[in-house]
Structure 1
Amino acid sequence: MNAYYLLAVAITAEVIATTSMKAVKGFSTPLPLALVIVGYAIAFWMLILVVRTIPVGITYAVWSGMGIVLVSVAAFFIYGQKLDLPAMLGLGLIVLGVVVIQMFSKTAGH
């Protein structure tokens, strides 16, 4: 399977897990807790598979960068957390950095 599909699964699982953390209130909320545990387990499992093909630095840059942006988007829709202009500009720069890596880096394992 293409490593970038596995990376997309890892990013999705991490976003679900991280976004669910806010809803965890000890053991009284088992569904969010399960989403955190299972989400991170899937994310790291997929990352282990991805780094067999894509260099670890590139994998981590894409995974963490897109995770930051997507968690911010999810928090906006789920929790109503708003971002100010500097935060949105910073997130835009993160996306731009991932795009530059994907389009121009020979290290990205294309």
Structure 2
Amino acid sequence: MKKEVNGVGWLFLSMAILLELSGTVSMKLSESFTRVVPSVLMFVFYGASFTSLNYALGYLEVSAVYAIWSGVGIVLIALAGYFIFQERLSLASVLWIGVIVIGVAGLSISNKGH
């Protein structure tokens, strides 16, 4: 049974997204597990992200939570790749990221009507 939505679910979801981003950045910095600290941090961040995601599911619908978590995570890691790691971000990539954002927004809007 879902608890009453009072912002706590959104807080847990936001934390899950930021922790997942931190885990993915740590994965890149670990250089295929050759650097100890980023490798350990990757597991810590991912574990904390899934824990926060699990708590978010106590307040929010699974379809919205997972779509937002994964969609926003994709957008943020693409931006991190561009700004932190100087990775190329083509126009096609930007357009497809836009499609993801539209899809997440559409799913969120459609879930609010139920």
Fold match by TM threshold 0.5? yes
Q: Taking structure 1 as the reference length, what is the TM-score of the superposition?
A: 0.87
Q: Which residues in structure 2 correspond to 1:47-86 (within 5 Å)?
A: 47-86=53-92
Superposed CA RMSD: 1.8
Separation in structure 2 between the aligned mates of residue 27 and residue 15 of structure 1, nearest angstrom: 18
Separation in structure 2 between the aligned mates of residue 62 and residue 84 of structure 1, nearest angstrom: 23
* Contact 2:9–2:55 (Cα < 8 Å) also in 1: yes
Aligned length, in residue pairs: 108
Partner of 2:27: 21
Structure with the bigger percentage of helix: 1
For residue 29 of structure 1, what is the amino acid of its counterpart? R
Shift of 1:96: 1.6
Q: Select the residue among 40, 65, 68 that pairs with 2:46.
A: 40
Q: Which runs of 4+ in 1 moved over 4 A?
A: none
Q: Taking structure 2 as the reference length, what is the TM-score of the superposition?
A: 0.84
Unaligned runs of 5+ in 1: none
More off after superposition, 58-67 vs 20-29 = 20-29
Shift of 1:99: 2.0
Partner deviation per Cα, 1:25-57 (whole Å, 9 max, x = no partner): 355412211221111011000011011111212
